[in-house]
Amino acid sequence: MKKASLKTIAERMKNLDFRMMVTQDGQQVSYSRPMSNNGKVEYDGDSWFFTYEDGHKVDQIKKNQHVNLIYQTDDMLFIECTGNGEILKDKNMLKEKWVEGLDQWFPEGIDTPGICLIKVRASRVRFWHKEEEGEYIA
């Protein structure tokens, strides 16, 4: 697969908000769910997601940090991001990543009990788009 720069990957991802997040439990069983990065689509190698700390995905990441993020568009662009997930509860980071509209799920804003961030740092990102493909390795 042809090598790609982070800039090339970021350009392809700039309008992508929703993706499937795949995590594994302690027994290597995979779980997928749709996730949004809440409109923050300027990709720099890290993906950020708001969630609640008592959710299954948080438990799974604590047991196994390996996370896959999978994107698809209508014009046949496919992206797979492989990396490690980390759970963060830092108020400053929550404030920095907060965007309007999140209060639909987190009614007390960054002070909502149990709110946290999942940070996925990419170790490898691959894309396929029609006749083109590329891979970025961090």
Instruction: List average pLDDT for each run of 10 residues in the chain, which is 138 residues long.
Output: 90 84 90 82 85 95 96 91 97 92 93 97 95 92
The domain segmentation of the chain, as residue ranges, is 6-137
Rounded Cα distance, 78 and 87, in Å: 26
Fold for the domain defined by 6-137:
Pnp Oxidase; Chain A (2.30.110)
Instruction: Report yes or no on whether pTM surpasses 0.85.
Output: yes
Rounded Cα distance, 26 and 40, in Å: 30
